[in-house]
Structure 1
């Protein structure tokens, strides 16, 4: 099975896939005025390889909201649709591990995770 992850950023009522141009624009906005809330969509696409060809399977769609205040941030993840082959908690772990790796690469202290109460919808 092959897995591809695509990330989109919210801009008003729409989501835009993050490409170089979108990332540049987003970074300029964040530098001008750091957001208190930041919304992303994460689409995890699953493909099965059949005779060397990719065959699309169902996808998972997650909505992610980052809330920032003084020295903490909160991440809320909602599985919007799909078979949920990747659990929301596992997705959060992947995000935090990658974020911490990048922070440490830049000489910044990693994020300390404090588990929150989980609610099943």
Structure 2
């Protein structure tokens, strides 16, 4: 038997803002608010389904350097250009990490500067 990633936990300055952003990006809903200010978001089916949830944990500690992990997201109902336009409209911003102009992905950042990539390949909605 193997393990499965059930939650991704992200320390952040403003869980409310990131919950709104990532719910808009991923089509997630707010699942649970904890007393410590943490917010869990995920698919409507909730925790334990085929898609991992994200827990946004408030942290006053400044982040040091680039995160060693990032999300790759793929469009599900439109092409990459249309999805890029949508992500920029909900608050993503482009990031130059030295990628070439011919790269098949776009590097973006969420409102707190966490980088993620928008891939070209479309996936079926989960």
Higher relative contact order (CA 8 A, sep 6+): 2
Q: Compare CA radii of gyration and give the structure with the larger one.
A: 1
The structure where strand makes up a greater share of residues is 1
TM-score (norm 1): 0.29
> Which protein has the bigger helix share?
1
Query: So what's the TM-score if we normalise by structure 2?
Result: 0.28
